[in-house]
């Protein structure tokens, strides 16, 4: 196993003033044995960053180190990494055993060691009873486990996962997430996992890197990123439904937005133009005697919870309430009560958090 260091990593395509820069100076220190999830929307650069770690893309500037070795100019085959792709990339004419063993055969690993490694990986992934089958005889989830098994048998220093669950249905994704967590617990190999799915990121990551437009917006534990988003992008991307973000004018303990003035439970961090953030579930009361007047426009029943959509003045706002509670009716006006610890403030110019 090994740590991974990303030191001011830059990726650009082309040269000169017309070069297209897609990764902008990413810095991160990933500890030995850590499971890091790189999350962000399509086109944000997360897979490009992973491919640079793998050696499938050149680094334009900066350094990538695996352990103590800078690997910028090291061939992928010599980096001691194993990659699991969105596409299972299994050989259709080979059995599960042969697919998992193929890389070791190419390296001329002794047959008895190959069998031992494949048997061990198959046991971990509950594939032992499928070793004689061909890929066409397997479900999507089983094929993805074979792809993971092919990576495990190599005993790499680093696992790289590039959206490996995207081709699975919702139930299989949830099941495979648990298998990946169990796998990391047993093997403890340093892992980078790329996804656009925030649920995967929140449930799998020990720490997560949130990417946006080639920039690293924030790195931290899921709890840190959720409870203290560093930017408005992180606040709006992590959490479902996303955080309510209201742009208005603060003055002491009042905030004017959408044509109404809201009384704050504590003074804003500064006077002037600010963005106020509040998560839909972070309300002390939604039927208080006094508070922010919220006009209900639509209600969604989701079983254990309800989402209530409406407006504060002219601004759209979303609430999440317990599904067992008696809900309001469309057209009702609710009085929302919030606490100071649940409010988030951002600078409208920089989009960064304001304390």
Looking at residue 17, what is its pLDDT? 81
Query: Can you say how many angstroms the Cα of residue 60 is from the centroid of all Cα atoms in its chain?
Result: 25
Query: Can you say how many angstroms the Cα of residue 290 is from the centroid of all Cα atoms in its chain?
Result: 38
Looking at residue 177, what is its pLDDT? 87
- Fold type of domain 244-346: OB fold (Dihydrolipoamide Acetyltransferase, E2P) (2.40.50)
**Could you give the angle at the alpha carbon of 76 between the alpha carbons of 194 and 121, nearest 5°?**
65
HEC states along 61-105?
A: EEEEEECCEECCCCCHHHCCEEEECCCCCCCCCCCHHHHHHHHHH
Q: 111-124 vs 140-152: helix axis angle to the nearest 10?
A: 130
The rounded distance, in Å, linking the Cα atoms of 94 and 149 is: 14
Looking at residue 171, what is its pLDDT? 81
**Mean pLDDT over residues 184-202, rounded?**
92
Joined together, the tokens standing for residue 204 give 């799998």
Specify the length of the chain in residues: 355
CATH class of 4-235: alpha beta
Give the highest mean pLDDT range of 27-41, 73-87, 130-144: 27-41
Of 183 and 81, more confident: 81
Taking only the tens place, the pLDDT of each residue in 161-186 is 999 888 778 888 888 888 888 889 88
Looking at residue 180, what is its pLDDT? 87
> How many C-beta atoms lie closer than 10 Å to residue 118's C-beta?
24
| Domain extents in the chain | 4-235, 244-346
The rounded distance, in Å, linking the Cα atoms of 158 and 3 is: 8
Taking only the tens place, the pLDDT of each residue in 224-266 is 999 999 999 999 999 989 999 999 999 999 999 999 999 999 9
In our burial notation (b when 16+ CB lie closer than 10 A, e otherwise), range 79-109 reads bbbbbbbbebebeeeebbbbbbbbebeeeeb
The rounded distance, in Å, linking the Cα atoms of 79 and 74 is: 7
């Amino acid at each position: 196993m090994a740590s991974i260091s990303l030191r001011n990593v830059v990726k650009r395509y082309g040269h000169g003033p017309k070069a297209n820069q897609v990764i902008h100076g990413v810095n991160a220190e990933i500890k030995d044995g850590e499971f890091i999830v790189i999350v962000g929307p399509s086109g944000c650069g997360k897979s490009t960053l992973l491919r640079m770690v793998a050696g499938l893309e050149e680094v334009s500037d900066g350094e990538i180190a695996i352990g103590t070795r800078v690997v910028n100019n090291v061939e992928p085959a010599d980096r001691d990494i194993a990659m699991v792709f969105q596409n299972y990339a299994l050989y259709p004419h080979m059995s599960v055993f042969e697919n998992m063993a193929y890389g070791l055969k190419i390296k001329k690993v002794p047959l008895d060691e190959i069998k031992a490694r494949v048997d061990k990986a198959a046991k971990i992934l509950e594939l032992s009873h499928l070793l004689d089958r061909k890929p066409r005889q397997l479900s999507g989830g089983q094929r993805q486990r074979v792809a993971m098994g092919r990576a495990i048998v190599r005993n790499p220093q680093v696992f790289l996962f590039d959206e490996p669950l995207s081709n699975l249905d919702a139930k299989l994704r949830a099941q495979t997430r648990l298998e990946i967590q169990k796998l990391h617990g047993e093997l403890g190999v340093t892992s980078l996992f790329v996804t656009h799915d925030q649920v995967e990121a929140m449930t799998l990551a020990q720490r997560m890197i949130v990417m946006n437009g080639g920039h690293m917006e924030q790195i931290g534990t899921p709890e840190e990123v959720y409870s203290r988003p560093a930017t408005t992008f992180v606040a709006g991307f992590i959490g479902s439904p996303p955080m309510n973000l209201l742009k208005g004018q603060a003055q002491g303990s009042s905030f004017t937005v959408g044509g109404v003035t809201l009384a704050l439970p504590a003074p804003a961090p500064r006077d002037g133009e600010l963005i106020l953030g509040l998560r839909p579930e972070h309300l002390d009361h939604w039927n208080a005697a006094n508070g922010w007047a919220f006009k209900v426009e639509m209600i969604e029943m989701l079983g254990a919870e309800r989402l209530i959509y409406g407006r504060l003045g002219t601004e759209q706002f979303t609430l999440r309430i317990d599904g067992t509670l008696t809900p309001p009716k469309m057209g009702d006006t609710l009085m929302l009560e919030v606490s100071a610890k649940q409010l988030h403030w951002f600078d409208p110019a920089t989009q960064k958090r304001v304390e």
